[in-house]
Structure 1
Amino acid sequence: MKKYNVVDLFSGAGGLLEGFLQSGMYHPVASVEWEKAPIETLRHRLKTKWKISDADQSVIWFDMQRTEELFEGFTDEKFGYSFGLDFFAKNQTDVIIGGPPCQAYSQAGRTKDKYGMKNDYRNYLFEYYLKTVERYQPELFVFENVPGMLSAMPDGTPIVDLIRKDVNKINYEIVEDIKNHALINMSEYGVPQNRKRVILVGMKKTNTSSEEIQKKLIHFYDNILTKYKERNIKTVFDAIDDLPPLYPLKNEIFINGIGKQSHSLPKNLDPNWGHVARYQNSRDVEIFGLLTEDIYSGKNQFQKADKLNEIYNKATGGNSKVHKYHVLRKDMPSTTITAHLHKDGLRFIHYDPEQKRTLTVREAARLQSFPDDFEFLSTRGNQYKMIGNAVPPEFARRLSLAILELLEL
């Protein structure tokens, strides 16, 4: 059976691409990403796992906004040298996948920014994605983003209307009713995490009427993709409970190459694999124990926002109305894994009252459905960031199989 050539834009560490490759039905032609740590991780993964010999060249480290150079090749002081995307993708691209950075569309980002993210350049990165689609003319494209894009209006016009207009302009179509068809909760697709995302599939118009394309797209979302749902929702327990427990130490220790440790290390596991607790100070260890024991015992005295605010403000000496604590429930999917994990893990507290800690890198990766042999390079902070920004590979795998059916309709 034919393998379809796929180009991955805004690739990050390659979670979306990983799922497409796991299906066995796609070949990676090229990827583009502008942050260095994800580039190194993705190149390493493609070379070691998927035996892509030219990954150092075909995974392009560059800024998508510099489209002419990206397409035609460049020599740059920061990004080095590249043949350009044309060299890999022109006349041989079947599918383009990817999702521009979502911070400008997220509700949290708009709440924190005094201008509501209206002036953030990332609002319009979709334009560079679509320029690439227009240049390489794939049969389909897959565009992933946060639910906040459905309400984002940086210039007063809904961003989805701007995207639809530009998609139509380059002779493609996306589904009309995005909210009712393209808003997906990935927990329904084998990912142990409540993660809602907008998945836009764009189809080339060619000689098909808009009415026929809309019928195909609705059939895709309502009948094809739904076939790949999971009967049993996976929980946090399902994902991480078999990993060795990491308990608080009576006295902190310092380990060369790892740093200051407040928790035990797992035996017979390479620390580079990522199952090492980040350092937790004694105050946080005490609070984590209090919150997890409260749930474990069934008392639930500290689960309301006012009680959590009280604990947070007492600990920090502040007067915030927003606390940062959340204990993951073992018998439910995780809350959405985010890139904020690279700053702290207070919203991702392990459910075990004996461990009194936040998630390790490997636990976060498991909740994002990354396979255990996926190696995240760079610092621990960058690893958390890469994981939080990724599309869960298990959802991507199932999506890729549904896309395959759509391609072959």
Structure 2
Amino acid sequence: MPKNFAIIDLFAGPGGLGEGFSRAGRSSEDRMKIHLSVEMDEHAVQTLRLRAFLRSFEEFPKEYYAALKKGKNLPDWHTLYPSQWKDAQSEVRQRVLGGDGVFDELAAELDNAREAHHGDTILIGGPPCQAYSLAGRSRNKGKADYVLENDARHYLYREYVEILKRLKPAAFVMENVKGMLSSEVDGGGIFHRVLDDLKRAGDGYRLLPLARPIQPAGIRADGRDFLIRSEEHGIPQARHRVIILGIRSDLAGNLPTGLIPLGSPQPKVSVQEAICGLWALRSGLSAGDDAEAWQEAVRDQATRMARAAAIPAPVRDIVREISDSTALPPHRESRWRGEYIGMPAHLREWFHDPRLTVTLQHETRGHIADDLGRYLFSAAWTRAYGRSPKLEQFPVFLQPEHRNRATGAFADRFRTQAADRPSSTVTSHISKDGHYFIHPDPAQCRSLTVREAARLQTFPDNYFFCGPRTKQYHQVGNAVPPFLAYQIGQAVLKLLA
């Protein structure tokens, strides 16, 4: 008899894990549906509530598409669909996990979900990772008053464990950064402590790597076995994350030894394949912006580089074409919906919504003229050599004037995403300046748009991010790729069956 699983999504961000699990739950005989999402960021909460509301319909409301087509604000859903909007508000809670009284408030909700679904619940989520990430640990070392053991972010996973104990779900999925494998606190590694706490929670769990064959019970997996390389699973991004799957002990007795839950590696998807069909755009100028001024600034930078003997000939040839071009892109924003020609079938099916007639949130940032030159050089070098240049390979007149440039700490400061392979990891840093996420086309001379970053993260094209553009970037960078989450959701249902 088919089951109906209730999903509890913690540290939900804009809903990457939840989107994937929800879609997996709609495409299986056993169903999964989000019962509760918990997130602290107000703009991510707005995004979650909108998506929860839309998912409550068999087909998204026509008013949604009408507003997107006109480029206007979304309707007052409370007035149009009061019952569905009320349910969406109830589903998504803006709370700080670990805050005073939050666990007690959620406990009754967890108990209700467990009892109403006869134990058929699934817990998902990724505790904040700043304390574990390599970049975060590097920043912390530079803080004179930083004490590792006093950083509460190291222990936020315990909030996840406490809810796991209370809910006692059939399965759980916990996601975190690769740096968790090497992070240490109180004189020991944090990762095996996390594994032990998860394994012993509630009635006990059997922990499984998703991308390795299931071993006989009693054989402990190595920490690195839990590392998922997203580019091996149809994601156009080299995002490497620790993902732990736990199956409740009473359900784990007959798991199929030798099965790889996520299946064999898939062909890699390139940046160009992922963003195909999105209109070519120019960046803006931070001051005095218009199309003619921007084009003149780009040509000036290109001409300067074309005459510089220090720049290798293959790069000079590319920038010379741009200095002579009369067809540089004039627009900073495009709502035109392109075709998916050249995109792998699995992503075309995933992204495409036939009722969506426009492209969402595809507009560019403004940059200072000197950064236009750096972006142009980096993109031209990447096209010529298939890799982004290090800062030391930039000509002197393009070097940024900051005191730390010679230390090597910013060697990848201006990083172009090569067109012919998966991107580097899309992180929340994309919300700051875009220097690490330069578009591969030198003629566009810009960082990625929100929609391009969302494509690399595999958010469907009809996924709308709420809040100002900086907050949209932040949400995209903080998410789990939904198409990866979809595959994980399918694997969980298969194992529970």
What is the TM-score when the length of structure 2 is the normalising length?
Answer: 0.71
Q: State the partner residue of 2:295.
A: none
Task: Give, as a single letter, the amino acid of the residue that structure 2 aligns with 1:108.
Answer: A
Distance 1:395 1:206, change over 3 A: same
Matched residue SS, 1:337: coil
How far is the alpha carbon of 1:72 from its aligned partner?
A: 3.2
How far is the alpha carbon of 1:166 from its aligned partner?
A: 1.6
How far is the alpha carbon of 1:155 from its aligned partner?
A: 1.5
Task: Give, as a single letter, the amino acid of the residue that structure 2 aligns with 1:364.
Answer: A
Aligned counterpart for 2:113 among listed residues 89, 112, 121: 89
1:132 partnered with 2:163: yes
How far is the alpha carbon of 1:359 from its aligned partner?
A: 0.5
How far is the alpha carbon of 1:173 from its aligned partner?
A: 3.3
Instruction: Assess if the C-alpha contact under 8 Å between 1:289 and 1:353 holds in 2.
Output: yes
Number of residue pairs the alignment of both structures matches: 381
Instruction: Assess if the C-alpha contact under 8 Å between 1:235 and 1:330 holds in 2.
Output: yes
Q: Which moved more, 1:44-53 or 1:361-370?
A: 44-53
Runs ≥4 residues deviating over 4 A:
115-118, 248-251, 267-272, 308-312
Instruction: Assess if the C-alpha contact under 8 Å between 1:339 and 1:384 holds in 2.
Output: yes
Name the CA distance, whole Å, in 2 between partners of 1:65 and 1:247: 44
Distance 1:116 1:192, change over 3 A: farther
Matched residue SS, 1:315: coil
Q: State the partner residue of 2:348.
A: none
Name the CA distance, whole Å, in 1 between partners of 2:391 and 2:332: 33
Task: Give, as a single letter, the amino acid of the residue that structure 2 aligns with 1:12.
Answer: G
Name the CA distance, whole Å, in 2 between partners of 1:191 and 1:116: 37
Match runs of 1:383-394 below 5 Å: 383-394=472-483
Task: Give, as a single letter, the amino acid of the residue that structure 2 aligns with 1:182.
Answer: F
Q: State the partner residue of 2:432.
A: 343
Distance 1:223 1:243, change over 3 A: same
Name the CA distance, whole Å, in 2 between partners of 1:132 and 1:283: 50
Task: Give, as a single letter, the amino acid of the residue that structure 2 aligns with 1:30.
Answer: L
Name the CA distance, whole Å, in 2 between partners of 1:299 and 1:332: 9
Q: Deviations over 1:58-88 (max 9, x none)?
A: 2111111137544436xxxxxxxxx963475
Task: Give, as a single letter, the amino acid of the residue that structure 1 aligns with 2:380.
Answer: E
How far is the alpha carbon of 1:98 from its aligned partner?
A: 0.4
Aligned counterpart for 1:225 among listed residues 258, 262, 265: 262
What is the TM-score when the length of structure 1 is the normalising length?
Answer: 0.85
Name the CA distance, whole Å, in 2 between partners of 1:32 and 1:7: 8
Name the CA distance, whole Å, in 1 between partners of 2:256 and 2:125: 18
Match runs of 1:364-379 below 5 Å: 364-379=453-468
Q: State the partner residue of 1:306.
A: 392
Aligned counterpart for 1:29 among listed residues 27, 35, 43: 35
Matched residue SS, 2:476: helix
Distance 1:384 1:89, change over 3 A: same
Name the CA distance, whole Å, in 2 between partners of 1:235 and 1:86: 41
1:173 partnered with 2:201: no
Q: Deviations over 1:203-239 (max 9, x none)?
A: 222386xxx58xx4974xx522225x42x21110001
How far is the alpha carbon of 1:363 from its aligned partner?
A: 0.4
Q: Please, which runs of 5 or more residues in structure 1 have no aligned partner?
A: 74-82, 255-261
How far is the alpha carbon of 1:40 from its aligned partner?
A: 0.7
Task: Give, as a single letter, the amino acid of the residue that structure 1 aligns with 2:229.
Answer: N
1:188 partnered with 2:247: no
Q: State the partner residue of 1:4.
A: 5
Q: State the partner residue of 1:65.
A: 98
Match runs of 1:101-180 below 5 Å: 101-114=128-141, 115=146, 117-170=148-201, 171-175=204-208, 176-180=220-224
Aligned counterpart for 1:245 among listed residues 240, 259, 280: 280
How far is the alpha carbon of 1:189 from its aligned partner?
A: 1.3
Instruction: Assess if the C-alpha contact under 8 Å between 1:369 and 1:394 holds in 2.
Output: yes
Task: Give, as a single letter, the amino acid of the residue that structure 2 aligns with 1:342.
Answer: S
Q: Deviations over 1:108-161 (max 9, x none)?
A: 111121248543211111111011111111011100011110111122121112
Q: Deviations over 1:336-392 (max 9, x none)?
A: 000011111101100101000000000000000000000000011111111011000
Q: State the partner residue of 1:76.
A: none
1:353 partnered with 2:353: no
Distance 1:116 1:295, change over 3 A: farther
Instruction: Assess if the C-alpha contact under 8 Å between 1:65 and 1:128 holds in 2.
Output: yes
Instruction: Assess if the C-alpha contact under 8 Å between 1:140 and 1:203 holds in 2.
Output: yes
Instruction: Assess if the C-alpha contact under 8 Å between 1:110 and 1:116 holds in 2.
Output: no
1:20 partnered with 2:87: no
How far is the alpha carbon of 1:34 from its aligned partner?
A: 1.2
Instruction: Assess if the C-alpha contact under 8 Å between 1:263 and 1:279 holds in 2.
Output: no
Instruction: Assess if the C-alpha contact under 8 Å between 1:164 and 1:173 holds in 2.
Output: no
Q: State the partner residue of 1:286.
A: 373
Matched residue SS, 1:398: helix
Q: Please, which runs of 5 or more residues in structure 2 have no aligned partner?
A: 58-83, 209-219, 292-328, 338-357
How far is the alpha carbon of 1:90 from its aligned partner?
A: 3.7
Q: State the partner residue of 2:403.
A: 318
Matched residue SS, 2:188: coil
Name the CA distance, whole Å, in 2 between partners of 1:233 and 1:363: 18
How far is the alpha carbon of 1:172 from its aligned partner?
A: 2.2
Distance 1:247 1:151, change over 3 A: same
Instruction: Assess if the C-alpha contact under 8 Å between 2:181 and 2:224 holds in 1.
Output: no
Name the CA distance, whole Å, in 1 between partners of 2:232 and 2:251: 35
Q: State the partner residue of 2:53.
A: 47
Name the CA distance, whole Å, in 2 between partners of 1:399 and 1:264: 39
Distance 1:135 1:306, change over 3 A: same
Matched residue SS, 2:237: coil
Q: Which moved more, 1:151-160 or 1:174-183?
A: 174-183
